[in-house]
Chain A
Amino acid sequence: MFRPLKKSFNLKKESKIDTDIKQTARRVYDAPNKGILWDWEVAGYIFTKAIAAGIIAFPFLFQMTGLVKVADSVLFTVAISSLLFLGLTGILLIKDLDQPKRFLYVLLRPNWTSWLVKGGYTITAFGGLVTLWCVLKYFDFPIIADLIVWPILILSVLLAIYTAFLFGQAKGRDFWQSPLLSLHMLLHSVVGGSAALLAASMFLPALMPLVPLLKEILIWSLLIQLLSFAAEFLSSHPTEDANKAAHMITHGTFRTAFWGGVVLLGNAIPLLLLIGKLRIAGCSRGLSFWY
């Protein structure tokens, strides 16, 4: 559902143009605003996609590199839940379209220059391979199953960061043109995945062996995440619009959502808790939602 320009989304504060009439040019007439076109569904599917990529990458990586012995049951649950999140991503993607019945056109009338198509094929390939892996594992063909684990891992990375390239193609949005965007998305996936696994480990004893390493990864990724925020918001941006967008996030309408939700709840508190040896890790998930 589309959220209209909320009253709280007060644009007057940001556009300093309108306040001092004398010096600067003043827009006195224009066509009506088109409102927000990409809404919570888009933010939603970035969030579910990051988790789908993250939760499968770590167990499989540990398994293949031998860092930690991972039971098959864990691999299975992780694969299934990743497919689940992938399904959720798909549903949100289709829901965001104004012509939902035509969603197949993305795959069947492909325009290969568009990252939406490449992304669509990535999701399809990733989903296909993971299902194939489950089937092979279930019917006990371990060797072939192991063979396709590496492609799955590579696809999971691509799955996590392809949206950055798509946003990069949206030239109308200066703020999305920043090269840091793919790094941000990767971090989302890492933080999201590890946090999800840690949270799941409270219910699934089988995940216990992975916990210490996951905590390590989560601490470091949260640190890097905070650094990336600093990099993004302390430095200036190439164009005025990007600066304004950054200003809106740090001081404007999204101020509370950013400092409160993303920085504090999403990163700082979990970091402290983790360093203080407690297990609450789910809240970092909030991070990617707001970003």
Chain B
Amino acid sequence: MSFVIFIKRIFHRVYVACKAENDVPVGVNRTWVKYIEKGEFPHTKRFFSVMRCNHCEDAPCITICPTSALYKRPDGIVDFNNERCIACKSCTQACPYDAIYIDPETHTAAKCNYCAHRVDVGLKPACVIVCPTEAIVAGDLDDPISKISQLVAGNQVTVRKPEKGTIPNVFYIESDNASLVPNGFLLVDKESGVTSSRVVQAVKKKFQFKKRVKN
């Protein structure tokens, strides 16, 4: 199973459909959209990329997970079982795509699992059916006549960080490299986020908004 994502048609829909389907807590995401801008006025361009787990063929998160809480299903989906997970967080270090987070509610690792609970019932993933511009196509790459196989064969597709050798299964069409590479996981100039439960107190302390004395 794999995804093809049309960069040119993305907007902000995937967030909420995924969160609604899987009750993903605030602060962490299974799939998210990243914007980058390039060029000078009036030739400025903005590119969007939907980021998520790439369900890799040779998934580093599966090799490093001590209790095989992360495992590959025969249909290719990299699924997780949060009852086996001891939350050692080594998978979050192993994933070159920053796709795994620690769920602050269940204190276990979690990530996009291709809505396996929907696929097993015969439904497409939640982010696929919500998108008004059908920017995300899901399907079986091994089936040569499926829409996704034709798309991947017929178009110029790119994947994120192929040099990591994980053989990712999410293909991007008409994408822009600067927006695909998470460029320096370490050097994120993002606002501080929220992950395992221990972060909650820290976040509160750190961002204490200076209470103003009522004048």
The answer to whether A and B touch in the complex, with CB atoms under 8 Å apart, is yes
Check if B37 sits within 8 Å of A28, measured CB to CB: yes
| A285–B68 alpha-carbon span in the complex (Å) | 35
A4 to B208: give the CA distance in the assembly, Å: 13
Of all chain B residues, which has the CB nearest A11?
A: B189
> Is the beta-carbon distance between B198 and A1 smaller than 8 angstroms?
yes
Q: Could you pull out 18 A-B pairs where Cβ atoms are within 8 angstroms? A: A2-B199, A12-B189, A22-B40, A25-B36, A25-B38, A29-B35, A30-B34, A31-B190, A33-B191, A34-B98, A35-B192, A96-B88, A99-B86, A102-B85, A115-B64, A116-B64, A166-B90, A169-B64
Cβ contact within 8 Å between B86 and A97: yes
- Complex interface: chain B residues within 8 A of A120 (CB): 66
Q: Report whether over half of chain B's contact residues are helix, strand or loop; otherwise say mixed.
A: loop
Contact of A32 with B190 in the complex, beta carbons under 8 Å: yes
- Segment from A65-73, A224-232, A238-246 that makes contact with B: A238-246
Q: Is the CB of B92 within 8 A of A37?
A: yes
Chain B residues with a Cβ under 8 A of chain A: 27-29, 32-38, 40, 46, 51, 60, 62-68, 84-90, 92-98, 101-102, 107-108, 163-166, 176, 178-179, 183-199, 202-203, 205-206
Q: Number of A residues whose C-beta is below 8 Å from B?
A: 55
| Known contacts A4-B203, A11-B189, A114-B63; A28 and B89 CB within 8 A of each other | no
Q: How far is the CA of A11 from the CA of B32 in the complex (A)?
A: 22
Cβ of A257 to closest chain B Cβ, rounded Å: 16
Known contacts A11-B187, A241-B184; decide if A116 and B90 are in contact (CB<8 Å).
Answer: yes
Is there contact, CB below 8 Å, between A113 and B29? Answer: no
Known: A102-B86, A241-B186. A37 touches B164 (CB 8 A): no
User: A-B pairs with the 8 shortest C-beta distances?
Assistant: A32-B193, A98-B87, A25-B178, A31-B32, A29-B35, A170-B93, A4-B202, A111-B68
Residues of chain B within 8 A (CB-CB) of A277 are none
